Structure 1
């Protein structure tokens, strides 16, 4: 099912966990609520149950710089 889910239009990420029966996280991008309903229906046709859903309106990110900081720290210790 997870391989089939990632092939659906609008699905951009599928994560599988080792917990119980709610072990898939699926991230989709939809144009509007109608498109979201279509994607949801396509997932249901794969016999996937949606237990919870969230609509994300904004995302904030920053670069991961741990390795740069570790290198600077190592140089300062020399």
Structure 2
């Protein structure tokens, strides 16, 4: 098996889906890549089976949805418990994302949404009750993302 699990067509597919999976069809990708739509659909299925593609998540504008406060809560978890605590943090109402960080401290980052300070206080208390030590809390003003450049085979 090749060291690189993806070829240029796979990269093009992943880049297109990262750019806008909802509005990008297999036919659109096929036209740009010069292959058939069925080839693209087969490649997408193979990328899913390999675990390279694992989901198609909508991008939510929380402020427009009535949740004006998006916050990053930086926590420390004991290394042996980090993964379990991170997964448990996802169950706290208002938590929308959790990242495990490979450091000894400040090793769990929690994104949470709320309508007011009371929501954020409750979330902090719930995380603390799980066993996460809260180190810092920062309100997020804006967040920007784009597809990984390596996948942009046209650039």
The aligned counterpart of 2:115 is 31
| CA-CA distance at 1:64 after TM superposition | 2.4
SS at match of 1:43: helix
User: Structure 1-normalised TM-score?
Assistant: 0.75
Aligned residue for 1:15, secondary structure, equals strand
Structure 1 stretches lacking a partner, 5+ long = 74-78
Q: Provide the aligned length of Structure 1 versus Structure 2.
A: 70
Distance 2:98 2:146 in 1: 22
How much has 1:31 moved relative to structure 2? 1.1
Q: Give RMSD over aligned pairs.
A: 1.8
State the TM-score, normalized to the length of structure 2: 0.41
Structure 2 partner of 1:53: 137
Residue 63 of structure 1 and its aligned partner are, at CA, apart by 4.0
Following the alignment from structure 1 to structure 2, what is the Cα–Cα distance between the partners of residues 20 and 65? 28
Q: Which has the higher contact order (CA 8 A, sep 6+)?
A: 2
Q: Does 1:20 align with 2:20?
A: no
Taking structure 1 as reference, are residues 49 and 62 closer, same or farther at Cα in structure 2, changes over 3 Å only? closer
Runs of 4 or more, structure 1, over 2 Å off, are: 61-68
Q: Please state how far the C-alpha of 1:57 moved relative to its aligned partner.
A: 2.6
| Alpha-carbon distance between aligned partners in 2 of 1:6 and 1:33, rounded to the nearest angstrom | 19
2:95 to 2, 6, 11: 11
> Quick one: distance in 1 between partners of 2:98 and 2:104?
16
Which ranges of structure 2 fall in alignment gaps of 5 or more residues? 1-84
